[in-house]
Amino acid sequence: MEKCRVSGVKKKAGDEASNIEKSLVIIKPDGVKKKIVGEIISRLEKENFKIEKLKMAKISRELACKHYYEHKDKDFFDPLIDYITSGPSVIMVVSGENSISRIRELMGPTDSRKAKKGTIRGDYGVDVTVNVIHGSDSPESAKREIELFFK
Ligand code: RTP
Ligand code: MG
């Protein structure tokens, strides 16, 4: 009998390029207070991202410190923890093609004052601290953060 020739199996167009990633996205307390939760989710969905998990919670100081552990020695750490725990946030697992870098593009840079109009931070952020949204910055961070918030 003729052997199956795996190399002869045709893949669907675009299969090679597929890189579906999961990202942890947080609509921070200022975003919830401004009533732009729907607007932000809509922007993600219009870019064909899938909302896999979603919950609303006031992040505890303990969880916030774990999440932002990499910044623990920075001057802005205490104000950052005060800000992220100041009210309810919306916490999501979002998936899609190259979602990590593409979501960070939609967000805009950390400093809202430097973010272009049309980005989430450019349209709704206040400054370098109060900036509406968090998105994972690497596959390793995404895995760690998703386990932290959705264990
Ligand atoms: P995020 O982690 O929240 O997605 O933000 P990011 O990657 O754009 O920025 P990162 O450097 O990781 O900083 C985390 C959050 O800390 C606050 N921050 N304040 N100089 C400051 O006062 C300062 N720098 C950063 C922001 O809320 C930033 O999103
Ligand atoms: Mg970050």
Q: Answer yes or no: 71 catalytic.
A: no
Question: Nearest to residue 42, comparing CAs of 106, 129, 89, 115?
Answer: 106
**Per-residue confidence (pLDDT) for residue 2, from 0 to 100:** 62
Q: Which ligand is nearest to the CA of 106?
A: 1
Q: Is 34 among the domain residues?
A: yes
Whole-angstrom distance, CA of residue 139 vs CA of residue 100: 7
Whole-angstrom distance, CA of residue 148 vs CA of residue 55: 13
Query: Quick check: CB of 29 below 6 Å from ligand 1?
Result: no
Query: Quick check: CB of 69 below 6 Å from ligand 1?
Result: no
Q: Is 136 among the domain residues?
A: yes
Q: What is the domain extent for residue 76? A: 26-149
pLDDT tens, per residue, the chain with 151 residues: 665 555 545 555 555 679 999 999 999 999 999 999 999 999 999 999 999 999 999 999 999 999 999 999 999 999 999 999 999 999 999 999 999 999 999 999 999 999 999 999 999 999 999 999 999 999 999 999 999 999 8
Query: Rounded to 5 degrees, what are φ and ψ at 142?
Result: -60, -45
Domain count, the chain: 1
Q: Whose CA is nearest to atom 9 of ligand 1?
A: 110
Q: Is 1 among the domain residues?
A: no
Q: Is 15 among the domain residues?
A: no
Q: Is 94 among the domain residues?
A: yes
DSSP notation for 60-118? -HHHHHHHTGGGTTSTTHHHHHHHHTSSEEEEEEEEEETHHHHHHHHH--SSGGGSPBT
Q: Is 64 among the domain residues?
A: yes
Pull the structure tokens for residue 51. 């909302």
Query: Quick check: CB of 77 below 6 Å from ligand 1?
Result: no
CATH number at residue 30: 3.30.70.141
Q: Is 110 among the domain residues?
A: yes
Q: Whose CA is nearest to atom 2 of ligand 1?
A: 134
Whole-angstrom distance, CA of residue 51 vs CA of residue 107: 16
